[in-house]
Amino acid sequence: MRIALLTEGGYPYARGESAAWCGRLVQGLGGHEFTVYALSRSRRQDEGARCALPPTVREVRTARLWGPPAVGRPGERRGYGRRARALFAAHFAELAAAVCAEEPQADRFATGLYGLGDLAREHGRLPAALRSEQAVRLLESACRAPGALRSARSASVPDLLAVVERLERALRPLSLDWYGPGPGGSGGDAALTAADLCHAVGAGPAALPGLLVRHRVGTPLLLTEYGVRVREHYLGAVGAARRSARDVPPAASAAPVRSLLASFQARLAAEAYRCAEVITPGNAHARRWQERCGAERHKLRTVYPGMESRPFTAVAEDDGVADPAPTLVWTGRVEPAKDVVALLHAFAEVRRVEPRARLLLVGSGPADDPAYAAHCRVLAAQLFPDEARDARSVGTNPVTFTEVGSPEVPRLADAYARAAVVVLSSAVEGFPVSLVEAMFSGRATVSTDAGAVCEVIGGTGLVLPPRNPRALADACLQLLRDPARRARLGAAARARALELFTVEQNLEAFHGMYLELIARRRAGRGTSGGRAHPFARPAEAHVAVRWASGRLGPEAAPAGAGEPAVPHTRTSPAPVGRPSWARPARGPGEPVGPGPRVGAGGGGR
């Protein structure tokens, strides 16, 4: 299958979000052919390093969401003619009305959006029109219309200009030359319209090309969000108000601007959720946000991010033998959100009952807040004086701060191997990676109820409220006193993690969804044309191999392939025999079967 991977500020930029996940996806699904359409968010990102591309990536096309719009050819510099201007006015008025309205008007938004997309295809020059006086005037009348957002009514002229500027940037994907033949489009097989499936990462501007292609030729859209774009926008708006970057107009922090931009983002996300065939949130938290923003429940399938489990599965299981000097292990970056202070207080309680217990804090990266790290060290030194076995030996502190890579803990897995209990004391948490690593290592865990902790741990560890050192100490003591229970919990946690959080599970889920979407795709062009015939377009219609390469045996050529594959610049690494997706993806000894939340039908939490 030809899959168009649409990203915004992510893969293939090494500094991008979810670059690692996308890299594993294109690398792991060898039988498919990926074309990456990437939107960059800043000059630093655009000029920065890029990920190494696996052979499955056929082409990378990039565009900018920052800076001034690219000046077109000389013929494109002049404005629209009368007819095009009337069309632009009609479509932009629809879009502006939908954005400014208090009540969501999904149909108007969609009409305006696709109208502008068609206008850009036929007449080009959309960025210039979006920056024109006409656009500002239309936006102003939409803001002053009855039923407009309350905060938008007071928008002043600089506010309107700032909004128009941001809208132009956000709508830039509409006027790119990615969509095949048309004025200024480099057509043919390389275009986005030729893809069998669009996989958009994020429901922001990245989803726009997918929406447009779905609107034109009915390409199915799969939407993956590990961080919900709308939520990031809100958090970013909070940050932007405090920030004075060069390319953020000073007026961007004004309330009307923020409200209009947030409204645009929410409407765009709602349209993306409405049109996507399948939406895959990364955890229940993302899922709740998506539901809140208008995603239908039956489209949502939680796919947990896959994590490399190999170094941790090598750790020996907890043998259930009581340790005379048990070690509590905490890993992470020392920062206030992790609430290391609470952990130290809890450990003081633990020491009162178990005087031989030790605490190992493993820092996993440079601390963002060195002052907080220093504070924690001072607190540990005050709470726990150095101790020695007898009067003649040198003492050590029961609390050890160390880093991954130090002689004490050369690898992260070694830290988990030393642990009797792994503790997570965060007050704020997203997807708790260190918890999953502890589960892979087969260790019993005590964690605070923050972020996706409850969802990850299931019933295989102790969970207690955050900012409660006494409860944390009690839970740790319970586990320290009961080695058998510790061993049971650790084994259960490892089984759970291997079932839900491996890379293979993640790839398997997406591979299944790709095949399902292609099977349900309508054969004809357009979404409305004709009835849906299952398997009207087989997944093998386009096989990612070069026909003339000679590496492929005659028996492997798909007999019923509808269209001949075009020669490509690169071939799949392992096309011998049968396509690599048809071979078992996982190695021996690993659990079989997708996780319970992956199957069809909108299961999951």
Residues 196-225 that bind another protein (CB under 8 A): 204
Interacting residue with another protein among 7, 18, 290, 580 (CB under 8 A)? 18
CA distance 246 to 96: 27
Angle, helix 255-275 to helix 106-123, in steps of 10 degrees: 90
For residue 292, count other CB atoms closer than 10 A to its CB: 12
Residues 565-604 that bind another protein (CB under 8 A): 569-570
Cβ of residue 535: shortest distance to another protein, in angstroms? 32
Contact by Cβ (8 Å): 254, 261: no
- Under the binding rule (CB under 8 A), the answer on residue 45 touching another protein is yes
CA distance 67 to 247: 7
- Under the binding rule (CB under 8 A), the answer on residue 549 touching another protein is no
Residues 143-182 that bind another protein (CB under 8 A): 144, 151, 154, 156-158, 160-161, 164-165, 176-178
Cβ neighbours of residue 558 under 8 Å, at least 6 residues apart?
540, 543
Interacting residue with another protein among 189, 308, 319, 387 (CB under 8 A)? 308
- Under the binding rule (CB under 8 A), the answer on residue 547 touching another protein is no
Choices 21-29, 83-91, 318-326, 542-550; region in contact with another protein by CB under 8 A: 21-29
- Under the binding rule (CB under 8 A), the answer on residue 137 touching another protein is yes
Q: What one-character DSSP code corresponds to residue 550?
A: S
Interacting residue with another protein among 2, 29, 42, 213 (CB under 8 A)? 42
Number of residues engaging another protein in binding (CB under 8 A): 136
Q: Per-residue x/- mask for another protein, residues 412 to 451, rule CB under 8 A?
A: xx------------xxxxxxxxx--x-----------xxx
Cβ of residue 471: shortest distance to another protein, in angstroms? 14
- Under the binding rule (CB under 8 A), the answer on residue 464 touching another protein is no
CA distance 370 to 285: 30
CA distance 209 to 561: 27
CA distance 438 to 418: 11
Cβ of residue 436: shortest distance to another protein, in angstroms? 8
Contact by Cβ (8 Å): 83, 75: no
CA distance 331 to 26: 30
Cβ neighbours of residue 465 under 8 Å, at least 6 residues apart?
448, 449, 471
Interacting residue with another protein among 212, 213, 266, 350 (CB under 8 A)? 266
- Under the binding rule (CB under 8 A), the answer on residue 82 touching another protein is no
Task: State which residue, 430 or 591, has the beta carbon closest to another protein.
Answer: 430
Choices 11-19, 83-91, 270-278, 542-550; region in contact with another protein by CB under 8 A: 11-19
Cβ of residue 67: shortest distance to another protein, in angstroms? 6
- Under the binding rule (CB under 8 A), the answer on residue 32 touching another protein is no
Cβ of residue 174: shortest distance to another protein, in angstroms? 13
- Under the binding rule (CB under 8 A), the answer on residue 104 touching another protein is no
Where are the alpha helices (H) located in 29-172, listed in sequence order? 43-47, 82-100, 106-123, 126-130, 133-144, 157-170
- Residue 447, amino acid: S
Contact by Cβ (8 Å): 202, 505: no
Cβ of residue 130: shortest distance to another protein, in angstroms? 10
Q: What one-character DSSP code corresponds to residue 177?
A: T
Cβ of residue 539: shortest distance to another protein, in angstroms? 24
Interacting residue with another protein among 90, 106, 182, 232 (CB under 8 A)? 232
- Under the binding rule (CB under 8 A), the answer on residue 332 touching another protein is yes
CA distance 552 to 577: 7
How far apart, in Å, are the Cα atoms of 32 and each of 146, 207, 435, 510, 543?
50, 20, 33, 12, 7
Three-class SS state of 331: strand
How far apart, in Å, are the Cα atoms of 126 and each of 96, 120, 174, 192?
15, 5, 8, 19
- Under the binding rule (CB under 8 A), the answer on residue 372 touching another protein is no
Three-class SS state of 81: coil
Residues 477-516 that bind another protein (CB under 8 A): 503
Task: State which residue, 1 or 307, has the beta carbon closest to another protein.
Answer: 307
Task: State which residue, 411 or 525, has the beta carbon closest to another protein.
Answer: 411
- Under the binding rule (CB under 8 A), the answer on residue 87 touching another protein is no
Task: State which residue, 164 or 487, has the beta carbon closest to another protein.
Answer: 164
Residue 66's nearest CA partner among 32, 98, 35, 43 is 43
Task: State which residue, 361 or 539, has the beta carbon closest to another protein.
Answer: 361
CA distance 432 to 168: 37
Q: What are phi and psi of 464, to 5 degrees?
A: -145, 165
Burial of 181 (0-12, 13-18, 19+ CB in 10 A): exposed
Task: State which residue, 52 or 325, has the beta carbon closest to another protein.
Answer: 52
* Residues, the chain: 605
Cβ of residue 53: shortest distance to another protein, in angstroms? 6
Choices 270-278, 334-342, 545-553, 554-562; region in contact with another protein by CB under 8 A: 334-342
Q: What one-character DSSP code corresponds to residue 239?
A: H
Interacting residue with another protein among 33, 94, 196, 335 (CB under 8 A)? 335
Task: State which residue, 206 or 487, has the beta carbon closest to another protein.
Answer: 206
Interacting residue with another protein among 4, 25, 26, 135 (CB under 8 A)? 135
Cβ of residue 260: shortest distance to another protein, in angstroms? 9
Q: Which two tokens stand for residue 83?
A: 């007819």
